């Protein structure tokens, strides 16, 4: 019901966020869509962790652009989940590229419980020498060796400079976001550049080959 009411309000009054994204679209040559229903998204995209939950979902203020440098496409949008008790908003940077061939993985901030568990459980970590990264984040993957070969250590170095970042990859998709955080419009392009660097380091950094 809340999602339906939000849709009605958006139809009668242009959201301020959409106006701000419209300015970004003009300035940086993005396409722009006001919103899309989650049910209309590609089937494969719906399996990512950020999209779990059975309540209504919307994508709003959607910037989109082809990225020929890596044969892909970028979308930036506010994902709204109408939860049991309140709405949750997350700005997501979604990259789809034919150059990606990820086995499913998730990188997320490490909580206190994770740190306690690691004290008792010896887990095989990808790139164990990246201690700054592993002090802040954990990696969920079925195969550490495959993960190392697909993303490289440079990506972990990039992420370790951030606080609270989530990264999910599977097949030809990569999602980057701060869970339940809407990025201010003035900071969107800064984060966009960070994601572009992340993609470049995943695809074209070969420094691990010489270690």
Sole residue written with tokens 């499913």: 104
3-class state of residue 89 by DSSP? strand
From the list 154, 133, 144, the residue with the least C-alpha distance to 202 is: 154
> Which is more confident, 171 or 122?
171
Kind of pairing between the strands at 87-97 and 173-177: antiparallel
pLDDT at 132: 93
pLDDT at 68: 86
Q: 38-42, 109-113, 160-164, 197-201: which has the minimum mean pLDDT?
A: 109-113
Which candidate, 76, 143, 19, places its Cα nearest to that of 10? 19
Asked whether the predicted pLDDT for residue 113 surpasses 70, the reply is no
12 pLDDT higher than 50? no
Summary mean pLDDT of the chain: 88
pTM of the predicted model, to two decimals?
0.89
Give first-to-last CA distance, the chain, whole Å. Answer: 56
Q: What is the pLDDT of residues 141-177, one digit of tens each?
A: 988 999 999 998 999 999 999 999 999 999 999 999 9
According to the model, what pLDDT value does residue 78 have? Answer: 97
pLDDT of 129:
92
Distance of alpha carbon 165 from alpha carbon 159, whole angstroms: 7
Residue 57 and residue 23 in contact, taking contact as beta carbons nearer than 8 Å:
no
CB distance 104 to 151 below 8 Å: no
More confident position, 122 or 16 = 16
91 sits in which H/E element:
strand 87-97
Domain ranges of the chain: 2-210
Please name the residues in contact with 43: beta carbons below 8 A apart, sequence gap of 6 or more. Answer: none
Residues 6 or more apart in contact with residue 4 via CB below 8 angstroms: none
pLDDT, tens only, 19-77: 999 999 999 999 999 999 899 999 889 999 999 998 889 999 999 999 988 899 999 99
């Amino acid at each position: 019901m809340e999602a339906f009411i939000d849709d009605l309000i958006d139809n009668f009054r242009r959201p301020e966020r959409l106006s701000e994204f419209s300015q970004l679209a003009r300035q940086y040559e993005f396409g722009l869509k006001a919103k899309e229903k989650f049910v209309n998204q590609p089937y494969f995209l719906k399996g990512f962790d950020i999209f779990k939950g059975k309540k209504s979902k919307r994508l709003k203020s959607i910037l989109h652009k082809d990225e020929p440098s890596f044969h892909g496409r970028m979308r930036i949008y506010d994902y709204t989940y109408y939860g049991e008790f309140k709405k949750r908003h997350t700005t997501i940077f979604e990259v789809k590229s034919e150059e990606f061939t990820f086995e499913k993985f998730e990188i997320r901030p490490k909580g206190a419980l994770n740190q306690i568990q690691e004290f008792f459980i010896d887990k095989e970590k990808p790139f164990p020498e990246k201690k700054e990264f592993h002090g802040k984040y954990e990696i969920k993957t079925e195969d550490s060796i495959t993960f190392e070969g697909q993303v490289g250590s440079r990506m972990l170095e990039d992420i370790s400079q951030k606080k609270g970042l989530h990264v999910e990859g599977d097949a030809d998709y990569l999602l980057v976001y701060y869970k339940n955080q809407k990025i201010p419009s003035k900071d969107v392009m800064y984060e966009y550049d960070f994601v572009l660097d992340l993609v470049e380091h995943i695809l074209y950094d070969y420094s691990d080959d010489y270690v």
